[in-house]
Every structure is written in structure tokens, then in C-alpha cells.
């Protein structure tokens, strides 16, 4: 069974930083594009960023460019999301997901999802 487990969320003050981790098991990790999404209360799930199978390319949603960085370590079956200069509007549940579709930002194309980790940014 495929499992994606996020960690690293928490309560931080505006301007702070977090690094989220997502450890995958039950799949050939290097065969998947890995993505990060977030969902705030009352809002649609939003694309945050993705990283290609070998880590050679990344793409980010417009709202997070310049502050968020996706990276991966295929030897550890782990994808990371580094968040800098957190803002209250970043408050959301953050999910990692795995897809075999190239260059996609659509939730529908991600087959496997983690349970999410809560990021709360106070002002």
C-alpha cells in the first residue's frame, strides 16, 4: 500500500520559516513527479509547487514564487517544501502528492496523497 506521510507543520509567527517533509513508501519514488498543495478553510485546494522525477526542474504557483522551494532526495524517498517569510495567508493544511503525469498542476492528476500537515501562521 502506498503511503505518503507529511511532517514539519506547526504554529509559527509571520516572517518565520518551516521545512515540511514527506516520506513516501510503497511506490518507486523516483518514477513520480511530486507535488505540494495546500487548502485553507473555505477555499479550493491550491497548487503550491512540484518537482520532476530526478529533481531537475521545479514549478511553483504564482502566489508562492520566491518564498517556497521544493526539493527531493530520492535515496530517502523524501520530498521537502522549504517555506520562507511565512505570511498569515499561508495558513492551510499542506499536502504532498505523487503523480505519473508530467508537468501537471492539477489535483486530479495526482493519484497518491498524504494526510496533510497543518501550518498556522500568526500575525
Q: What is the pLDDT of residues 2-57, one digit of tens each?
A: 999 999 999 999 999 999 999 999 999 999 999 999 999 999 999 999 999 999 99
User: What value does the mean pLDDT take over residues 64-80?
Assistant: 96
**CA 45/CA 39 separation, integer angstroms:** 4
Question: For residue 63, what pLDDT is reported?
Answer: 87
Q: With 0-12 CB in 10 A as exposed, 13-18 as middle and 19+ as buried, what is 89?
A: exposed
**CA 4/CA 23 separation, integer angstroms:** 6
Amino acid at each position: 500500500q502506498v503511503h505518503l506521510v507529511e511532517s514539519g507543520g506547526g504554529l509559527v509567527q509571520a516572517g518565520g520559516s518551516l521545512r515540511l517533509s514527506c516520506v513516501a513508501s510503497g511506490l518507486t519514488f523516483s518514477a513520480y513527479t511530486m507535488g505540494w498543495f495546500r487548502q485553507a478553510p473555505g477555499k479550493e485546494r491550491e497548487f503550491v509547487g512540484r518537482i520532476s522525477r530526478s529533481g531537475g526542474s521545479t514549478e511553483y504557483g504564482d502566489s508562492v514564487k520566491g518564498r517556497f522551494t521544493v526539493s527531493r532526495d530520492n535515496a530517502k524517498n523524501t520530498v521537502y517544501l522549504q517555506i520562507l517569510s511565512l505570511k498569515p495567508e499561508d495558513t492551510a493544511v499542506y499536502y504532498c502528492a505523487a503523480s505519473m503525469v508530467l508537468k501537471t498542476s492539477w489535483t486530479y492528476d495526482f493519484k497518491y496523497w498524504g494526510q496533510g500537515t497543518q501550518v498556522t501562521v500568526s500575525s
